[in-house]
Amino acid sequence: MRTPLRPLTRRGLLTGAFGSAALLAGGGSLAGCGTRAATRTEAGCVSEDLSGTEKTLTFSNWPQYMDVDDADTAKRPTLDAFVAKSGIQVTYTEDINDNNEFFGKVQNQLAGCQPTGRDIMVLSDWMSARMIRLGWVQKLDTSKLPNVEANLLPSLRGRSFDPEDQLAIPWQSGLAGLAYNGRVTREIRTVDELLTRPDLKGRVTALAEMRDTMGLLLQSNGHDPANFTGAQFDDALAKLKKAVAAGQIRRFTGNDYAPELARGDVAACIGWSGDAVQLGFDDDKIRFVVPDSGAMIWSDNVVVPNRASHRGNAERLVDHYYDPAIAARLAAFVNYICPVRGAQAEMEKIDPALAANPLIFPDDAMLARSKVFMALDEKQEREYEGKFQQVIGA
């Protein structure tokens, strides 16, 4: 099923009611309470797995991140198939609308080694990394994840915040790159074009998500966003600051740039691949471009929090979604990058056009040019976010 453009971003934007102030306040509250005291160890916060006797699972996810039946939206075909196959009853809740907001919901329980009432959460890379850094996430038993072991895309393995692939398993992924409306401007290929081309002045937006915008600028300067120095970050930030001062950038956005891009009010932007797929259903002049210097790749990840009592059931569900046939059904609904190898062949049976879409099934060359943003410690997170927010005026 092809879904309409979503009003909420999966990326946990630093805008709106839970914007940059919330993130910085969140960092401050952790510091104020003593982050070291909030940090947990596996030995110091033991979780008991009751999956052997309790066939239940509580699953928190983002809105519209699970396939539904066209005729009956109360039915979720791939999830219903898991329940029927496993006998595990799933309580599924779409209660994650923003990473920071959700962090606020569970922070006190996890800091105190208390149950959150959830067995599975789906969190973006940087929030997953924060949870892992704090010791709030259970390790998964990789021997119980044969489909994950066999089918997880190589480009999503061994990420810096989860080098053993046992703490955060990608649910869906996406690219941050360039997008443009071919009805109102000519093709754009580089970040430098976006930031300097005279015909685009005042007709450009960039993302308020620091990791995506700054990751692309780091790449454009020849630096590795997966491994950079403070000086390299400042160098890329200076480029962004210059473009802001020159009036090149109209504003910084969440995925609310998409309607403006569709209308042609915005000619080109830093944007997300999933938005471009959806816009492209109605207008093939909306194009997504992997910049010549490379793109950013991100994931929203399944994590099992401390004191969740059904880790084994969670492992069975995760492995279910790494069956290529199941993964293809899910990808046909959400339209983001499918992290499962073999799903493209299964998608051919569902929708050949989606199977051929490189923004859902990127080829190896595109993936090789895509980077995951470096995992940050708490000090780096506050420092880099603070500098970025000053430049974008948040």
pLDDT value, residue 394: 61
pLDDT tens digits along 210-233: 999 999 999 999 999 999 999 999
Close Cβ partners of 364 (under 8 Å, ≥ 6 residues apart): none
Label each residue of 156-204 as H, E or C.
HCCECCECCCCCCEEEEEEEEEEEEECCCCCCCCCHHHHHHCHHHCCCE
CA distance 18 to 24: 10
Exposure string (b/e) for 286-319, b if CB count within 10 Å is 16 or more?
bbbbbbebbbbbbbbbbbbbbbbbbbbbbbbbbb
pLDDT in tens, 341-365: 999 999 999 999 999 999 999 998 9
Which pLDDT belongs to residue 255?
72
Q: Which of 228, 288, 245, 198 lies closest to 392 in space, CA to CA? A: 245
pLDDT tens digits for 165-194?
999 999 999 999 999 999 999 999 999 999
The total of other beta-carbon atoms located within 10 Å of residue 268's CB is: 25
CB atoms within 10 A of CB 283: 14
Percentage of residues of the chain with pLDDT beyond 90 = 75
Distance between start and end Cα atoms, the chain: 36
Write down the residue that tokens 């443009």 correspond to.
180
pLDDT of res. 219: 98
pTM to 2 decimals? 0.81
pLDDT in tens, 78-121: 999 999 999 999 999 999 987 888 999 999 999 999 999 999 99
What domains are defined for the chain? 56-172+298-359 (3.40.190.10), 174-297+375-392 (3.40.190.10)
- The pLDDT of 236-250, averaged and rounded, is 98
